[in-house]
Chains A and B, each alone.
Chain A
Amino acid sequence: MNFSIMRTNAAHGHVLRKTLLIMKITTYLLLIAVMTVSASTLAQKITLNEQQASLEKVLDKIRVQSGYDFLYNYSAVDKSRPVTVHIKNASVDQALEAVFSNQPLTYEITNQTVVVKGKSFFQKLKEQVANALATPFNVSGIITDKLNQPLAGATVIIKRTNQGTTTDNRGFYTLTNVDATDSIVVRFIGYKSLTVAVGKLPFHNLKLEEATSGLDEVVIQAYGKTTQRLTTGSIARITAEEIEKQPVNDLLLSLTGRVPGLQITPQTGFNGGAIKVQIRGRNAINPGFSSDPLYIVDGVPFTVLDLQDPVKRVEMTTTGVSRGLDQAGLSYSLGQDPLYGLNPLDIESIEVLKDADATSIYGSRAANGVILITTKKGKPGASQVTLSLQDGVNFATRSLALLNTPDYLAMRRQAFKNDGIIPTALTAPDLFLADPNAYTNWQKFAYGHAGKRLDLQGSLSGGTDQTAFRLSGGYNTTKDITDASDGDKKATLSFNMTNNSANKRFYTAFTVNYNYAELNQLSLSGFNNLPPNAPSAYDASGSPNFAGYHAVGMKYPFAKLFQLYNSKNTGVNGNLTLKYTIIKGLNATVSLGYNSNQTNSTLFKPMASQSPYDNGTTPITGSASFGNTRVNNWIAEPQVTYDRLIGKGKLDLLAGATVQSNTTQGITNNGTNYTSDLFIKSIQLAPTMTVLDNYGQYKYAGIFGRINYVWDNKYIININARRDGSSRFGPGKQFGNFGSAGLAWIASEEKWLKDILPQAIDFFKLRGSYGTTGSDLVGDYKFLSQWGNASPILTSYNGVVPLTPQLMANPDYHWQVNKKLDLAMDMELLNGAISFGVDYYRDRCDNQLVSLQTPEFTGFTSVVANNPANVQNTGLEFTLTTNVAKGKNFSWRNSFNIAFNRNKLLAYPGLETSPYRNQYKVGQSLENVYVFHFTGIDPLTGLNTYEDHNGDGKISDNNTVFPGTQDNDAYVMINRAPQFTGGYTTVFNYKHLQLTMVFYFAKQMGYSYLKGGVSTLGGTMNNIPQYMYDHTWSYVGQTDALYNRLSTSLVTSPSLSGSDANYEDASFIRFQTLTLRYSLPDKLLHKIGLRNLAFTVSTNNLFVITPYRGLDPQVFTLDQPLTRTVEAGLTATF
């Protein structure tokens, strides 16, 4: 670090002199720049009463009183005059000023050392400095943020030459060859860039303000930070502010409608249940595979091995969803979302990484995209306490209009009459034995209650410029709309601390969060359509009404009301980052992470839940299942980064390595044949016990690198490379290489273009990337031939424990490679009032790693292998953000996004001999199903009719040939994937009032509950919707019927479910969130001593606009519907 002007003076050849000279000049410059700073250090009080004293003597007195050292040349002091001075309690400065006022000498103060020298020389020096300033000189200073924290790595350049430097870890910079007429430009990620004129000042300490424009706000990327301005990849960001407005327990749900191309679909209405997350369409040929992206929380991957097959809900999705933390497989909610334990209010931001440029550095695990979750960190400043309370209720959003008792009974009688059958008490107990005047709305019984949600949060944060911390806790109880279980609880505790060493070279960050979540679930599935005159579920004493049901000849349908599923999950996530600055621009970082989740679950089926009348002669016994899921992840990632300015650009280099290990264990203990409910909570007391024990271990290692070069803030190139190894592959196949290249051109920085472009355009950027990511999501040990006793579980033979082959091993499968292309344009107009972005992408997934169906005669029905099929997803994503008004009192911000995805099977060599030959067609979407064309109800018979596509006189569904070919008449193609999805968010601010609304919409076809879902009309003791009843065929010659005649047996084959009548428009606009917030004005806050106090009213899923006639266009069943939440809340900050 050299910040002196290197000029030797021929007159002072002596070494001491020379040193003195340097010191003098430096001191002079410092004096000018930091006068106020040095003044504050001269606080000592000097009292002098001297008459004609020698200078030497006086200076000695000052030395004694102030503690300052004096340095002078005796020959110079010899020329001094006697001193007369009378001062009292003066500063050193004032004292010296007075002493030297008449001397031919002058002085300087450097580090409590006063240097005395001849004045004539000093004058000369001044002139020299003036000359020096006229020619190029050095400028130095410190760049800080508004809290005076130094910003390391900020770019400081001379605007004229585009040459410059970056700040070191103390924020210090030095520019050489600066002219007084120059301006310097300072840029740092996440801050507004700053331009200042140098003038004659060689020392500029500058403070940067945080960016408010979307373009320059920090965006977290893989192993680093960037901004929307500088990124070459496709990264969407959701901030804490957006997350905290949504009254949801599950973090993932707060992403709904916020990110183009991201589909969030809860699989059930249960709290904490499985959620399907899909980014940019379906890649997997095999419908059993899940589409889950890679979740990374503070750098720690949240990996859960799927020990049990992902769950697939036929009517909903075409791919499976991981069971998450329920690897014991007991829950009613089809699994447990692994992110459920995270507290949404602890989250600083969520970044969704979509294209190869953003994801390929994660190599093999990024095929389905990456979701980065960053938790809140402490910030320097006075300690701040925030408390919040949210309390609300939730309800079912919709119910179906089902028949009342008279209509229901009439419907049943008609069904018998149509078939010419005389019903008896045995065949139709609902007509003969049940009370014909009773009526229960079973939908209301099951889901008609008000759920409750209470959420308490507290946080404390603060720190100094060296150490900052944040401590937070949350507690949350939720009771669902069934009102049957005790409800769910969640408690979270989170702590983080960051520390910078005094010299700012060593940085430590530590984060740990702990969470406990308890879920209680009862499945009320199937209660909706009970006969409206069925007896009540409970008898007069509140016990299960077994006798009542037995009396009317019906089986007791409510057993599940008493069969509780309970899970208790404990999760710990910890992360430690150590960073050391070796030299300016060169940093070494080690990031260590650990997370652990343990879920204990129980599912009891007590004897008391089973009707003694319904089991025939077999005695009733109880059963219980005890599940345990344990997930442990650790990761270590050493990294080196280096950045410097080269030419007109800034170069950032990253090299690193990663080692990850995961173990997942799922144990299910099943106890059966309990003869007393008193024993049921103990597995030890189970007369019969079976154990299912699943264990998976996964190790993963990789090295990666990134080169990023931003030239002149105009041209950006970003290259990622990664080499990965995974334990999921056999010897010789473990390693794979991945990489990407991204380019961006900020055209609006181009002078010639700026002249052409309309004035309104402030920012215009084109970017594109191409690269590869991979996948190894096939489970563990699949390459290894193994013997065991798990599938199936065999008994010993002749006393020897049996071993049989457990899977079809395939040592040859290798990394799946996804090739991703992304082309995009980003634009900002009218000073950021409007920003617009469009992304085109094309993802191709070739040589897919799948569980390939094999014929049974090979010994197994599937094998893990690379499938030659090539699946393409192409799409367009648009985002539009407007800041319509941005005044002091009123502001209005809108953001809109929409995404179109087209899925296509590009090629599949050997499709005609593959197991999928009757499901997929080259050139068509994987999401297509092929069904018959429903041609209405035959007016004469009242039966369903279908189009005989090939005209062979019969309706055939020969499933050995492709639908619609040969004798297969199922030719209608239904695409189950949405045509487009999107979201709209609008935020009004008026003075202290803020209104936020979020809408989520999709255009899609859905499984029609009113058609295929109800297979027989009148044949079973099930209620049907009024709409169906009103539109069933009821007389010969009726032409306007929509449903076949009422009948006690399935009257037509094939059933409606295999036809296009089974699907209907399930497009929707969901009013996802409405939040109204009022913050107290500052004046008032001041009076009551608070920093902030805000009241909120928020709703989730207020209503859905849809032509869909089932309960919910996203969850296509009648079970546990999604709910509407209304909450009020209070947040106070001290």
Chain B
Amino acid sequence: MKFPTSPKSLYRTALLITCMLLAFSSCKKLVEIDEPRKTVTTTDVFSTNQQAAGVIAGMYSQMMTNNSSLVFSNGATTMYGGLSSDELVSLSGIATITDYQFESNTLRQDNATVDTYLWKTAYQVINTANNILEGVAASQSSLLTDSARKQLNGEAKFVRAFSYFYLTNFYGNVPLALSADFNQTSRLSNAAQSDIYKQITADLTDAQTLLPTDYKVSGGEKIRANKWAATALLARAYLYQKDWKNAEAQATAIITSGQFSLVNDLTGVFNKNSTEAIFQLQQNISVAPYGATFEGRSFIPSIILNTYAAKDQASILNPATFVTYAPFIIPKYYLSPALVSAFEPNDKRRATWINYSPTANVAPFNGQTVYWPYKYTSTSPSTTVAPTQYYMVLRLAEQYLIRAEARAQQNDLNGAAADINLIRLRAGLTPVTTTTQADMLNAVAHERQVELFAEWAHRWFDLKRWGTAQSVLSGISYKQNFNPTQLVYPIPQNELTADAFLKQNPGY
């Protein structure tokens, strides 16, 4: 091939080619784009303490308000665990089939609630926690101080353990995703529940050493996990694993910390930062459920009829028109007769934490009073005034009950009685008089039922771990025929499609 021969044109050509090569020698620069506008890269997020504070806020916001939708950690656990056990009944009955499946213990693997509200959201929170742990570990920035790193890791580990606790108690053997990298997690198979507890214990033990004993990071409000939150959950985790000794030790650590005390006035237990609270989640008043909680909104009817004049009540209770008013008079979920009748006479908890709706003499209510939880008293609060109650996650009363059970199991009946009696005393009841271990365990079980009702599916999990679920639930008319495989929720259909290594729980 002959090229241009004139020296001048050769020179021009060479110059041109050189220019072009120069222009493109830095090709990499040409395809570099600005950092995304709406998002911050992981490196940037974990470059300073201030930036990193946002990820903790993100994690708790995901747990609490989550774009105004129900998640496992803002009410779904209480509601669906309550329906599955003998605590709650749904007003809509069979009309809301996804709820009805919980209530009648006839869950199907395509139940959307099982997936959307419980499974998916718990794993989203876990993913955030995993991302925080990995982001902190990868951060080289000296502006992310050691104390901030400890705080971030501690809270992430607490939240991860917390989420896995509910996942494994609902679903049994769930995949244990401990990384934000899908390459490591997308092909997981079911982990044994014992392994999940092992991880929960490890995370919480770490969190205990990483987190402070006070609430200074959240300005004194008990809305971020500290060492005692980790300890409280660890006490519960040991209890569920039947490690009585450790359960007692952890509960004792909290009880003797001197930071918490039972609130004598039952109406104040769920107040924000009450002395009994170990860890609460804070609502954001600008979006639904505003200053209320999802539980308050689902358990309290929009019209509390018993506060109206008798004349007005009578007009509403006209059997001919009552059906129209029922959805306003009766909450979405109300207490089962079994639970209401479990209370001893004069139990102040029944008077304070339960409210009621009269009904007309028309099916299906037939004039029977409908009772509903009233632990949270706010249903449609102001969007400008801060709420008086926060969403209670962990409280001291449960720690006494954990220790009572652990002590009873270890045959320390006096110790157990002492713990129960503190709770009973507050409820205006007399001390227990039982003398046998079995009776003491029954007393603990009873106390757990009436103290912790309509909170965090305590009853559902208790029935399951005590092995009494079948005997208790099979006697309930709307749970016929009771199917014991229903004690573990089905793993969502989508997940089985997306991951072939995942196995469905037996019976689905």
Contact = CB atoms under 8 A, between A and B. Distances in A.
Contacts of B385: none
Given A701-B30, A797-B64, A803 B55 contact: yes
A651 B3 CA distance: 12
A786 B40 contact: yes
B182 A727 contact: no
Nearest to B223: A798
Interface string A848-871: 000001111111110100000000
Contacts of A812: 183
B243 interface: no
B186 interface: yes
Contacts of B471: none
B497 A800 contact: no
Contact of B115 (A657, A697, A856, A860): A856
A854 B54 contact: no
A803 B36 CA distance: 14
Contacts of B58: 787, 789, 794, 797, 802-804
A835 B123 CA distance: 64
Contacts of B287: 795
A700 interface: yes
Contact of A858 (B9, B31, B45, B177): B177
Contact of B500 (A638, A792, A859, A912): A912
A586 B9 contact: yes
Interface string B54-88: 11111111101111010000000000000000000
A699 B38 contact: no
Scoring B127, B175, B496 by chain A CB atoms within 10 A of each residue's CB, the highest score goes to: B127
Contacts of A761: none
Nearest to A793: B67
A806 B62 CA distance: 12
A694 B38 CA distance: 8
Nearest to A692: B38
A701 B126 CA distance: 39
Interface residues of B, number: 83
B187 interface: yes
B182 A808 contact: yes
19 contacts: A644-B2, A699-B32, A699-B33, A726-B31, A786-B41, A794-B62, A797-B58, A803-B51, A804-B59, A806-B39, A810-B183, A812-B183, A854-B186, A855-B186, A856-B120, A857-B188, A857-B495, A857-B499, A859-B177
Contacts of B497: 853, 915, 917-918, 959-960
A960 B501 CA distance: 12
A780 B39 CA distance: 12
B4 interface: yes
B1 interface: yes
Contacts of A802: 54-55, 57-62
B379 interface: no
A703 interface: yes
B30 to A, nearest CB: 4
A784 B38 CA distance: 13
B117 to A, nearest CB: 12
Interface stretch (B10-18, B200-208, B435-443): B10-18
Contact of A855 (B61, B131, B502): B502
A798 B63 CA distance: 13
Contacts of A885: none
B20 A798 contact: no
A790 interface: yes
B180 A800 contact: no
A840 interface: no
B508 to A, nearest CB: 11
B224 interface: yes
A646 B1 contact: yes
Interface string A141-177: 0000000000000000000000000000000000000
A659 B60 contact: no
Interface string A573-596: 000000000110010100000000
A795 B55 contact: no
6 cross-chain pairs, A with B, having the tightest CB-CB distances, nearest first: A859-B127, A788-B39, A913-B500, A701-B30, A802-B58, A786-B39
Interface string B15-37: 01100100110011011111011
B345 interface: no
B218 interface: yes
A797 B120 contact: no
Given A701-B27, A794-B62, A858 B186 contact: yes
Contact of B34 (A655, A697, A804, A960): A697
Interface string B485-508: 000000011111111111000000
Contacts of B258: none
Interface in A783-834: 784-790, 792-798, 800-806, 808, 810, 812
Contacts of A915: 497-498
A803 B57 contact: yes
Given A640-B13, A792-B67, 13 more contacts: A582-B13, A787-B45, A787-B58, A789-B58, A797-B57, A797-B223, A802-B57, A802-B58, A805-B131, A857-B175, A857-B499, A914-B500, A959-B493
Nearest to B37: A695
Contact of A790 (B16, B28, B38, B123): B38
Nearest to A959: B497
Interface string A1036-1066: 0000000000000000000000000000000
B282 interface: yes
Contacts of B130: 859
Interface in A189-225: none
B139 interface: no
Given A657-B24, A854-B186, A805 B180 contact: yes
A613 interface: no
Contacts of A859: 123-124, 126-128, 130-131, 177, 180, 185
B53 A800 contact: yes
A734 B32 CA distance: 9
B366 interface: no
A657 B57 contact: no
Contact of A734 (B31, B62, B180): B31
Contact of A804 (B2, B9, B128): B128
A781 interface: yes
Contact of A796 (B2, B187, B284): B284
Interface string A729-769: 00000110000000000000000000000000000000000
B282 A797 contact: yes
Nearest to A657: B24
A200 B30 CA distance: 59
Contacts of B498: 853-856, 861, 915
A88 B36 CA distance: 87
B17 A787 contact: no
Contacts of A586: 4, 9, 13
Given A640-B17, A701-B30, A787-B55, A693 B175 contact: no
Contacts of B180: 785, 805, 808, 859
Contacts of B56: 797, 800
Instruction: Name the residue among A701, A812, A917 with the largest chain B CB count within 10 angstroms.
Output: A701
Given A795-B61, A854-B498, A638 B31 contact: no
Contacts of A725: 27-28, 30-31
A804 B55 CA distance: 6
A853 B496 CA distance: 12
A802 B185 CA distance: 25
A70 B9 CA distance: 37
B42 A703 contact: no
A858 B127 contact: yes
B57 A780 contact: no
A800 to B, nearest CB: 4
A698 interface: yes
Nearest to B43: A785
Interface in B171-215: 174-175, 177, 180, 182-183, 185-188
B282 A798 contact: yes
A788 B60 CA distance: 14
Nearest to B115: A856
